[in-house]
Chain A
Amino acid sequence: MRVPPGDLFAALRTDAAVDAILVTLTTNAISLVLIIGLGTPTAYWVATRSSRLRDVVVTLIELPLVLPPAVAGIGLLAAFGRLGLLGGTLDFVGIDIAFTKIAVVLAVAFVASPFYVRTAVSAFESIDPALPDAARTLGAGPAKVFLRVAFPLAAGGLGAGAALAFARGIGEFGATIMFAGSLQGVTQTLSLAIYEQFDLDFDVALAISAVLVAVSAASLFFVKLFSRWRSSSTSPIPFAPSSQPSG
């Protein structure tokens, strides 16, 4: 079991490891963009409503949290697979999602999105409601209220949520293997590569695991940093949003 660090770095240079790193980075980057792009408006909508519809939306958002990953994979197959609900339509226009990079992106986005949206909702909810009200009376329409008041004040929480979602997405396994398979260089992410290399070359599995430990720790550290930034509207911090000229 004792492997010198030099061998670990060598193991990371194998094709399997390099491919897995590239697949993981690209798919997770795209997922994160999707999660932030769709999750931020959703979270803002949820945080500024109090209707019953809100509870329904929140339930749907949080569902992936409690869903077994295998069920999530089956669900995604049922929705986007060739024989799935939307699969027929997609197949008709020549798009086949299952077992492609798109499938990885969807699986990661599905499983990781609640981590971002939940944090984002509470970040928006923790804004003193008098502040958006004040902005409205000062001539700001809903869009300007979001851009100049809600977003900057929630930015720390949004960052923390994004880091959490990234940490969860990087380690995605169950839904991905069911919906996207484990094709090296196409859909084989780091977690899937560990699983495969576990039988083929244990050193590679170990090296990738070490990378994931480092990435997870770094993500968590960023969550802490961002969370401090969020609660820092009352305390001095080194990277406060810089003052921008306004008027």
Chain B
Amino acid sequence: MALELDFSHPLRSFVATLRLTVPRGRTLALVGPSGAGKTTSLRVIAGLLRPREGTLTVDGVPWLDTRRGHVLPPERRKVGYLFQEYALFPHLDVSQNVRFGARDGGLADEMLDRFGITHLRRARTRDLSGGERQRVGLARALARDPDVLLLDEPLSALDAHTKTSVRLELHQHLRDLDLPAIVVTHDFDDAAALAQTIGVVVEGTLRQIGTPAELVAAPADPFVATFTGATLLPGAAVGTRDGLTEVLLDTGATAWSTQPGSGRVHLAVYPWDITLAREQPDSSLTNHLRGPITSIVPIGDRARVRVGLVVAEITAASARRLELAEGDSVVASFKATAARLLQAGG
């Protein structure tokens, strides 16, 4: 019981070719730069776009099979689609919006209740806040009793303050629903918060698919590494010693990685694997890069400190203890195991 999609369709400068399987009760996040083919996938599933070639089955029922000329129109597919700006009907009130696709009014009322918007039922959609609009959009999509849930950038229309609480709420709803769900987002953090599986789509192809932890632990290429938040340090692998690969960075410094590599490489390191110190620490850490602090950005109880090319994420407390200021020369240190090697040009 699942959604199985396999299609190819020409986009502006490349052909999107994607093959996805999402089991019931699971959420897949499609992440990647805009125009990579993420929304195209949702439109193909919903029937709003007929791909050049492809098949789609949901719970074993064929929705699309271009070879056989079988294409169910959108109104005959049971899809719950949350559009990017929610696409609420401006000429209808909240209750009419939610009832638009509902087969029976009871389910619509249940959704109004479930999303806590019963008191807004007579409200015009233009009077709603961003979070409320999203709830109405989701209630409307689910009142159709869909077999598949598709969410296109569900959080991008919200301000940063609302986003965190809505993300948590959305995560709970997705967890409670027994549906295959696909979330499209350009934000890795949103994807990791909402989905069990993340697929990175670049230029119409799936670069890598896995759990958020898997993507971070072993990004398949430099793009996935930066997308998941790593800093890339370009350099060249010049040899091995004691099982470690020696990398001569383009900055002139030397770094060590436990991963094998040769020729031009990118050394990927995540902000949370880096510690900062005024002087080079006498510890088990292998890599030390000295440089001036170019920026300090506090984020809640943490601070992002940019030292030369690398970004370190440290607690606000240690930032205070080190009395860091822009322009100070500090040492960024990280383990050889935290230094992932990726072949350049991949």
Contacts and interface: CB of A to CB of B under 8 A. Distances in A.
Shortest 9 CB-CB contacts between residues of A and residues of B? A138-B101, A233-B90, A130-B87, A136-B74, A134-B87, A137-B81, A247-B99, A139-B101, A152-B91
B91 to A, nearest CB: 5
A136 B75 contact: yes
Interface in A110-148: 128, 130-131, 133-141, 144, 148
Contact of B48 (A137, A149, A153, A235): A137
Nearest to A243: B93
A241 interface: yes
B92 interface: yes
B111 interface: no
A229 to B, nearest CB: 11
Interface residues of A, number: 26
B105 interface: yes
A59 interface: no
Interface residues on B, range: 20 to 34
Contact of B85 (A130, A136, A139, A235): A130
Interface in A171-201: none
19 contacts: A128-B87, A130-B85, A131-B90, A133-B46, A133-B81, A133-B87, A134-B89, A135-B100, A136-B47, A138-B141, A140-B75, A153-B91, A233-B91, A243-B92, A244-B96, A246-B96, A247-B99, A247-B105, A247-B108
A152 B140 CA distance: 19
A153 B83 CA distance: 19
Contacts of B144: 137-139
B102 interface: yes
Contacts of A51: none
Interface of B: 46-48, 73-75, 77, 79-81, 83-85, 87, 89-93, 96, 99-105, 108, 122, 126, 140-141, 144
Contacts of B83: 130, 133-134
Interface of A: 128, 130-131, 133-141, 144, 148-149, 152-153, 233-235, 240-241, 243-244, 246-247
Contacts of A153: 90-91
Given A134-B89, A152-B91, 9 more contacts: A133-B46, A137-B46, A138-B100, A140-B75, A153-B91, A240-B91, A243-B93, A244-B96, A247-B99
B48 A133 contact: yes
Contacts of A133: 46, 48, 74, 81, 83, 87
Contacts of A141: 73, 75
A233 B126 contact: yes
A137 B84 CA distance: 14
